[in-house]
Amino acid sequence: MHVRLSLIDSVPPVTRDIAIDPGTTLDVVHLVIQRLFDWQNVHLHRFDSVDTYERWRADVPEPRSWLLPSLLDEFDGEPDADATLAEALTVGGGTLWYEYDFGDSWRLTITAIDGDDTPRCVLAAVGQPPHDDSGGVHTFNERRAKRVTASEPVDIAALDTVALNIAALDASVQTLLATTRTLPLVRPLLTRVTTDVGSDWCARIAAAAEHPPIVDDAAIAASIRPIEWMLRRIGPDGTALTAAGWLPPAIVRDAMRELDWEHRDVGMMNREDRTFAIADLRALMRQLGLLRVAKGRIVPTAVARRLLDDSRALWGHVAEQLVERQPKPVGRDLMLMLALQLVSGEALDEQPLADRMARDLTELGWRDPRGSRLEELLDGRVTPATAASMLSWAQQPLRDLGAYPESGRRRWEWGSEPTEIGRALGWAMLGGTLVQGQDQIT
C-alpha cells in the first residue's frame, strides 16, 4: 500500500509518501511517522477516522479513535496496537487523521495513493518538518515566511527539500519495520521511549539479525535439561514434600549430582532450604507455571505434562513465560532489556550491565526515589545500584538455561558474553519464534 502523509495547514506543503504493508498496526505507523517527521515521541498522539475539528457536524459519521492504552481511561477509543492501517483507512472512508502533541497539535492526514511495487519504503519527501515544541503549524508557517525578503526572494519549497536525505529516512524506517515484524515484543517498548533511543535499539537488533542465532536440537536439549530433569524426577503424579514443605533430600542430592551443579554449592547439598541452586530452580518452575503444590505434594501442571516430551516446545514456553509471568511490570521490562542484551551478543561485565539496565529502565519511564546522588534524587532516575540488585535475581534463571558460560567453580562466577543458546533465548523472549525443523531462529 502507498500512502501520503500531509501536514495539515502547512504552507508550503510538508508531505511524505511511503510504501507500507497495509497490515501494519497503528502503533507502528505512529513510530514510522515520528521518524519521517523527525519528532522524538515525547508527546501524546491519536488516530481518528474523522477530522477532530468537524466532529460536531451532523453529517459526520460516527467517529472512531485509536489511542495509546494509557489514554483509554481519559478518551473514548480503542488501542492503536489492535487496528491495522488498512482497517483504519476503511473506517475513515480512505482518509485517516493523526494528531501528535495535543498542545502544539501537529495534525496529519493519511491517504492512499497510487504507486508501483518498490523495495523502498520512503518514496518521496517534501518540506522540512517542524521541530517538537515549536509552537504549532501557524507559528511554523510564520517562521518559514520570514526566510523570504523583498530584496532577496527564496524558493521556500526548494530550501526545505534540499537538506532531506531520503535514503537515510528510508533506512531508518526499514530498520524499524523489520524489527517490529521480527521481534514483536519490542513494539510496545518503542512507543515508550524517544525516537533516538528507539532507533538505537532497532540498530542493535538489526546488527544482530545479520548473524541470527543458530541452535540445533542438542543445544535446546542441553539448555532445558534442568527443567526437564526436575519434571521427570518429580513424575506425572507428583512427589510428597517434607513436613516442612521442602523437596525430599534424595531429589535435591541427585539433582546437584546429575545436573553437574555440585561445584555451585558446599556441604551435603541434600536440603532444599540450604541448597540455593535447587530452591531457585523449583521457584522458577512454579513461576513459569510448570509446577504446583497441592495437599503436601509438588505436581507438574497440565502444561508441563503436555510439553515434557517436546524439548523445543518446552524451551519456547519457558522463554515466553520468563517475560509474561514476571510478577511486576518493571520486572517484565527488565527481562525484555536483558533479552535485547542477549540478542546483541555483547559482553558486558557486572557494572557496565547495571549501568545500561539503569539507563534503559529510566528511558522506559521508571523512577527510583532511592538515589544516592543529588541528580538521582532530583529526577528519580533508576540507579545502577538498584539495577544491579534486580539483575541478581533476573539473570540466575538465564544462567541455569545456559545463556552465559560458567567461568569459575562458584555459583556466582559467570562469563559476561552471551552464548549462542543465550542469544537464541533472548530472541525468543522478544517474540521471535523457533521454526520447527530448522536450526535458525526467524
- Triad 249, 254, 258: Cα angle to 5°: 160
Q: How many CB atoms lie within 10 A of CB 281?
A: 24
What would the grid cell of residue 396 be? 540466575
Q: How far is it, in rounded angstroms, from Cα 252 to Cα 255?
A: 5
pLDDT in tens, 314-327: 999 999 999 999 99
Contacts 24+ apart (CB under 8 A), 267-273: 271/246, 272/246, 272/247, 273/244, 273/246
* CA 398 – CA 270 distance, rounded (Å): 24
β partners of residue 17: 4, 124
Domains and CATH numbers, the chain: 2-183 (3.10.290.30), 231-307 (no CATH)
Copy the grid coordinates of residue 248.
525430599
Give the orientation angle of helix 195-209 with respect to helix 26-36, to 10 degrees: 110
| Cβ atoms of residues 207 and 343 within 8 Å | no
Q: Cα separation of 145 and 132, whole Å?
A: 19
Instruction: From residue 389, give the alpha-carbon distance in Å to each of 25, 162, 353, 392.
Output: 36, 50, 12, 5
Q: In this predicted structure, what is the pLDDT of residue 117?
A: 87
Distance CA 34, CA 29 (A): 9
Q: How far apart (Å, rounded) are the C-alpha atoms in residues 237 and 235?
A: 5
From the DSSP assignment, how many helices (H) and strands (E) are in the chain? 17, 11
Could you tell me if 149 and 185 are in contact, meaning their C-beta atoms sit under 8 angstroms apart?
no
- 380 CB neighbour count, 10 Å cutoff: 14
For residue 420, give the 3-state DSSP assignment: helix
**Mean pLDDT (10-residue bins), the chain, 442 residues:** 97 95 97 97 96 68 90 92 97 96 96 91 94 94 74 55 79 96 95 97 93 91 97 96 96 96 86 93 96 96 96 96 96 97 93 96 89 62 92 94 79 81 96 59 40
CA gap 159, 128 in Å, rounded: 9
